[in-house]
Amino acid sequence: MRTFRTIVTTALVGASVGAVSPSHAEDINNQIQQLDQKVRILERKLEIADENAKAAAEKTPVAKADASGFSFAAPDKSFEIKFRGLIQQDARFWFNDDENPQSDTFLLRRVRPTIEGTVGKNGEFRFTPEFAGSSTTLLDAYTGYKFSDAVRLRAGKFKSPLGLERLQSGSDIRFIERAHPTSLAPNRDVGLQLSGDLVKDVLTYEAGVFNGVVDGGSADSDISDDKDFVGRLFATPFKTTDIDALRGLGLGIAGSIGKEEGSGTTTGLASYRTPGQVRVFSYLTSTNAADNVLADGDRTRIAPQLTYYYGPLGVIGEYIVSSQEVRKDDQTTTLDNDAWQIATTYVLTGEENSFRGINPARPFDLAKGQWGAFELAARYSELNVDDQTFPTYANPNRSVAGIQSWALGLNWYLTRNLRSSLTYEQSAFDGGAAKGADREDEEILFARFQVSF
């Protein structure tokens, strides 16, 4: 700009001096000087405006709206609030349900707005209600503080750190319903948790004290004085190495220990459901207190777990054994129920698979001939109820002793935020029908349309 100005000035002065009288030349020279000042002033004003804009940007909150949600943040992110959401519209179609008729139905499976954010650089909070179902419930509500990458404190209601698939976000699970091990893992619980990286990118931990909940359960308060201690170690030992085929391998072990004492109003024991969410196992209950089965002592869970991701391939596997001392009148015993699953998924369109879901490389756009990402999924899963349970603690003609389920799924990720899924799942049962017969197989086709951000 300055070079241009100098050339123009020189040219004009030169031309004018050579072509006109001295007084006229002086006038022209003055005009050029004035123009030169005007240009300089305009340049300086732009410079100042630029400086002011930069200074203002340092103080102006940043509003963001993108695939990860909507947020407002201080320029240095020390204060931030994010609005996120998950809506799942499901359909369930039952086949071969003559003996145990079920209604084909559309339903809202998850409707969860979330407000989360940071307060100061290290404080965090999250609030998530659940609007799906017959009543509104408080799903997550916690506050936390990050002392360092190795020490993060969280207090409130959130997922207890035990079941692998339970810890996977509801928006990222690959089948419409989670597998049987999740039936034995605690869901949301209220307590205090420390977590962090023991070795960055290699070993993480979670350790907490919670009220304690029944298998698969959530609660807002405790039914007894005793508390559950829950811990989990998860390693990705090759994540930082150059061994491509092993970088996505994760191995973990989780466990919990606590006590539970049931009462006449709350037994402290769980019931178990099929993939179609039909209750097929429950302990005996009666209006006669002596016939009620109650939790009565130690409750422990152990859960080894595995994940593996390599390119478009993904595998998760987990096993959980849940042991609970129970009592019926004057009879007591410890019942060990266990469950396991192995599931694999493959992204047909080649995107990188991960525990946190798929980000389509070519988001759905008909005009551009893009269809998003497609993923195939297959799973086998079992739940086994302790043999000692029958007939003292559960009715073998109404409660199953085992479930074996296999499932096939197809997931269509239109965009990072929109997903459509189909899952066919078939379950066979041990017992659970009259005269000791096996309950009729459950065959169900699930469909889902999901929006998450």
Partner 1 sequence: MKHTIKKTLTVLTAALLAVSATAKDITILNVSYDPTREFYDEFNQVFAAKWKAETGENVTIKQSHGGAGKQARAVIDGLQADVVTLALAYDIDAIAEKARLIPKEWQSRLPDNSSPYVSTIVFLVRKGNPKGIKDWGDLVKPGVSVITPNPKTSGGARWNYLAAWAYELGRNGGDQAGAQEFIRKLYKNVPVLDSGARGSTTTFVQRGIGDVFLSWENEAYLAIKEFGDDYEVVFPSVSILAEPPVTVIDKVVDKRGTRAVAEAYLNFLYSEEGQELAAKHFYRPRLASVAAKHKQRFPDINLITIDDVFGGWQEAQATHFNDGGTFDQIYGK
Report the interface residues with partner 1, using CB under 8 A: 37, 40-41, 43-45, 47-48, 51-52
CB of 52 to partner 1, least distance (A): 7
Between helix 22-59 and helix 2-19 the angle, nearest 10°, is 170
Of the pair 30, 263, the CB lying nearest partner 1 is at 30
CB of 38 to partner 1, least distance (A): 8
Of the pair 44, 279, the CB lying nearest partner 1 is at 44
Contact call for residues 107 and 92 (beta carbons, < 8 A)? yes
CB of 44 to partner 1, least distance (A): 5
DSSP annotation of 216: T
Of the pair 120, 133, the CB lying nearest partner 1 is at 120
Of the pair 37, 332, the CB lying nearest partner 1 is at 37
Separation between Cα atoms, residue 13 and residue 225, nearest integer Å: 95
CB of 12 to partner 1, least distance (A): 18
Measured at the CA of 159, the angle between CA 157 and CA 162, to 5 degrees, comes to 140
CB of 45 to partner 1, least distance (A): 6
CB of 49 to partner 1, least distance (A): 11
Contacts of 171 (CB under 8 A, 6+ apart): 86, 88, 357, 419, 450, 452
Read off the amino acid at residue 231. Answer: G
CB of 338 to partner 1, least distance (A): 45
Separation between Cα atoms, residue 162 and residue 233, nearest integer Å: 10
Maximum pairwise Cα distance, the chain: 125
CB of 34 to partner 1, least distance (A): 9
Task: Point out which residues pair with 143 in neighbouring strands.
Answer: 125, 155
Of residues 75, 155, 169, 167, the one with CA closest to residue 123? 155
**Secondary structure class of 198 (helix, strand, coil):** strand
Of the pair 39, 202, the CB lying nearest partner 1 is at 39
Of the pair 48, 434, the CB lying nearest partner 1 is at 48
**Secondary structure class of 34 (helix, strand, coil):** helix
Of the pair 47, 104, the CB lying nearest partner 1 is at 47
Of the pair 45, 356, the CB lying nearest partner 1 is at 45
The residue whose two tokens read 């595998």 is 315
Separation between Cα atoms, residue 186 and residue 265, nearest integer Å: 20
